[in-house]
Amino acid sequence: EPEVTQTPSHQVTQMGQEVILRCVPISNHLYFYWYRQILGQKVEFLVSFYNNEISEKSEIFDDQFSVERPDGSNFTLKIRSTKLEDSAMYFCASSKRTGNQPQHFGDGTRLSIL
Amino acid sequence: GDSVTQMEGPVTLSEEAFLTINCTYTATGYPSLFWYVQYPGEGLQLLLKATKADDKGSNKGFEATYRKETTSFHLEKGSVQVSDSAVYFCALESDYKLSFGAGTTVTVRA
C-alpha cells in the first residue's frame, strides 16, 4: 500500500538555524498538509497546499514558515530561524481531495531545537 | 471555530473487555469525521471514517456512528486485544484541515 514518507525521522538543530523537513506524498494525491504535535499536546494543523498554492494556514504558520513543492514528488516545510518552542513532531499528510477522502499521514519528523 | 473534545485518558483495560472512547464535536456545516490511531513509535493511521449523518464507520472490529443530533462520534470495540494498545484521536475535517481531539491513550493488559 502506498505510503507518505518523511525524512529525517529525527532532526536536531541549534536555535536560530534554518531547517527543512521533507515529505514524499502518495503519488496520485493532490492535497498536501503539515501538522505538528508538541509533546503532550494536541496535533495542530499548520498548512494545506493544493495546485502549488497554500489553501489554508493556521495562526501558527507565521512568516518563519514556508512550504514548497520543488518537484513532482517532494513537499517540504522550511522553518527559517528556529526557536525553542518549535520543538515538536511534524507530520506530513496527503489526500486525493478534501472531504470524504481521508488524509494519509507519514511517521513524522521529531524536531529538537537546542 | 471547529473543535473536537474527546474523553481524557489514560484508559487501562483487560483483554476481551469492551472499549468506548467518547468524542463530541463543534462545527459549522457538516464535516467529515475520523478516528486515527497512533501505535507506539509510529505515525497516525486512519482507523475509520464517516462522511454524513448516521453513517457508521468500521474497521478491525472498531465502530463509530456519526450522530448529528448529539454531535458525537464515539468509538467502540466489543473485545479488545493487547495489540489495540495505542493512542486514539478523533478528528473532523472542514476547510481543508483536520481538527484533532487531545487523544486517548489506551492500554490493554493480557
pLDDT digits (tens, 9 = 90+) for B1-31: 889 999 888 999 999 999 999 999 999 888 9
Q: Quick check: B97 and A56 CB within 8 A? A: yes
pLDDT for res B94 = 85
The residues, ordered by sequence, that sit 6+ positions from A55 with a Cβ below 8 Å of its Cβ are: A31, A48, A49, B96
| DSSP state, residue A84 | G
Contact between A91 and B43 using a beta-carbon 8 Å cutoff:
yes
Is A43 in contact with B34 (Cβ distance < 8 A)?
no
Mutation target to probe the B interface, by most B beta carbons within 10 A, among A42, A49, A57 is A42
CA distance A19 to B32: 33
Residue A71 corresponds to which cell in the numbers above? 518537484
- pLDDT band of residue A50 (cuts 50, 70, 90) is very high
C-beta atoms surrounding B87 within 10 Å: 17
